[in-house]
């Protein structure tokens, strides 16, 4: 399971890294005639896979939009041409997962939308982990009144209802912010909330380690408290930190997706898994266009599940008592 989880994450990150090559279209390209187009029907012959041009009509009996294949000419798929993994000549269109309301290719938007959803965890860790490690390390090493005051501060931050705080802070962000600035602010907010819990765990580890003999030996040769914390205490928490990183990233992914789903994170037209999922939540889309909701929700589930499986594996691997 851990190998499958690791392999799944590698595939996801490769997809977003080479999004311009893998995605058939630009995520912002619109085709007004192809709104809510279903996934393309791929046929095969001796030359390989091909498509027919799709004509979109309105059924006069029930006023529903339907797509009809114009079987006058075959359009074979092209591989590794035009700097794309797969493409097709116009006027045929390749919608692997269908199209959204205004005719944008859903597959391309999901690949590009994975960039903010999958990178926010690492960006958040860059802020949260150094702060939590340093804060918890100092608190645990100094102890006494300083430790008591510092832990009360972290407990006050931990007592804040994180999701509601995220919603409030995201809602009061200026409307003039572009999506990059909004994404940066969301990352900062998520990081500010998550460091306090880590600092308490680091503090407990440091308090148990600082009584070891090698710490007393470092003191006896005249090493300063700062050097002892940096050279001896913090390195002995690395095994826990590796596990904590794997288990913390899913919370960042879910946080960003939830905010974008509610319209408080990455906004249209820029894609993210959350705002793609928001478009598919309508009952009519759930019943008639399930591809709008199952594809982003499945990727969120795979990402979170894979990180949790990988974190459990790392925890068992580094737990010397179990080994």
What's the pLDDT score for residue 63?
Answer: 65
Q: What is the pLDDT of residues 282-308, one digit of tens each?
A: 777 777 788 888 888 899 999 989 988
Give yes or no for residue 38 having a pLDDT over 70: yes
Give yes or no for residue 275 having a pLDDT over 80: yes
Domains and CATH numbers, the chain: 40-94 (no CATH), 107-318 (1.10.3720.10)
What's the pLDDT score for residue 167?
Answer: 72
Please give the DSSP secondary-structure letter assigned to residue 236: G
Answer yes or no: are the C-beta atoms of 203 and 140 closer than 8 Å. yes
Taking only Cα atoms into account, the Rg of the chain, rounded to an integer number of angstroms, comes to 25
What's the pLDDT score for residue 18?
Answer: 92
Give yes or no for residue 90 having a pLDDT over 80: yes
Band (pLDDT 50/70/90 cuts) for residue 10 is very high
What's the pLDDT score for residue 117?
Answer: 82
- Burial grade of 311 (CB within 10 A; 0-12, 13-18, 19 or more): buried
Q: What is the mean pLDDT of the chain?
A: 81
- Burial grade of 45 (CB within 10 A; 0-12, 13-18, 19 or more): exposed
Q: What is the pLDDT of residues 140-171, one digit of tens each?
A: 878 788 888 888 888 888 887 766 777 777 67
What's the pLDDT score for residue 174?
Answer: 73
Structure tokens at 113: 């939308």
What's the pLDDT score for residue 62?
Answer: 66
Residue among 102, 34, 101 at smallest CA distance from 68? 34
Taking the C-alpha atoms of residue 6 and residue 306, their distance in angstroms, rounded to an integer, is 7
Structure tokens at 204: 């407990």
What's the pLDDT score for residue 11?
Answer: 92
Taking the C-alpha atoms of residue 124 and residue 254, their distance in angstroms, rounded to an integer, is 13
Give yes or no for residue 321 having a pLDDT over 50: no
Q: Which of 97-111, 159-173, 250-264 has maximum average pLDDT?
A: 97-111
Taking the C-alpha atoms of residue 75 and residue 130, their distance in angstroms, rounded to an integer, is 54
What's the pLDDT score for residue 13?
Answer: 92
Answer yes or no: are the C-beta atoms of 30 and 102 closer than 8 Å. yes
Give yes or no for residue 61 having a pLDDT over 80: no
Band (pLDDT 50/70/90 cuts) for residue 83 is confident
Give yes or no for residue 322 having a pLDDT over 60: no
Q: What is the pLDDT of residues 224-240, one digit of tens each?
A: 777 777 777 777 777 77
State pTM to two decimals.
0.80
């Amino acid at each position: 399971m851990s190998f499958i989880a690791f392999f799944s994450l590698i595939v996801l990150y490769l997809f977003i890294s080479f999004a311009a090559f893998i995605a058939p279209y630009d995520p912002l390209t619109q085709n007004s005639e192809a709104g809510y187009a279903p996934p393309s029907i791929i046929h095969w012959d001796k030359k390989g896979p091909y498509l027919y041009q799709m004509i979109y009509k309105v059924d006069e009996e029930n006023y529903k939009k339907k797509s009809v294949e114009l079987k006058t000419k075959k359009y074979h798929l092209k591989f590794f041409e035009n700097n794309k993994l797969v493409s097709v000549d116009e006027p045929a269109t390749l919608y692997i997962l269908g199209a959204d309301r205004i005719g944008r290719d859903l597959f391309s938007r999901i690949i590009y939308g994975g960039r903010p959803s999958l990178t926010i965890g690492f960006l958040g860790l860059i802020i949260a982990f150094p702060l939590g490690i340093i804060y918890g390390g100092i608190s645990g090493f100094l102890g006494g009144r300083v430790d008591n005051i510092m832990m009360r501060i972290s407990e006050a931050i931990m007592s804040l209802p994180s999701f509601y705080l995220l919603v409030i802070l995201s809602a009061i962000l200026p409307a003039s912010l572009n999506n990059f600035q909004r994404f940066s602010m969301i990352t900062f907010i998520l990081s500010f909330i998550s460091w306090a819990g880590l600092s308490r765990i680091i503090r407990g580890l440091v308090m148990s380690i600082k009584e070891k003999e090698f710490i007393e030996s470092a003191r006896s040769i005249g090493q300063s408290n700062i050097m002892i914390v940096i050279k001896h205490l913090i390195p002995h928490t690395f095994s826990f930190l590796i596990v904590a990183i794997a288990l913390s990233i899913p919370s960042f992914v879910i946080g960003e997706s939830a905010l974008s789903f509610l319209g408080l994170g990455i906004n249209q037209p820029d894609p993210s898994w959350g705002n793609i999922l928001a478009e598919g939540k309508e009952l009519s889309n759930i019943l008639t266009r399930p591809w709008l909701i199952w594809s982003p929700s499945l990727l969120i589930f795979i990402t979170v599940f894979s990180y949790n499986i990988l974190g459990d594996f790392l925890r068992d691997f580094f737990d010397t008592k179990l080994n």
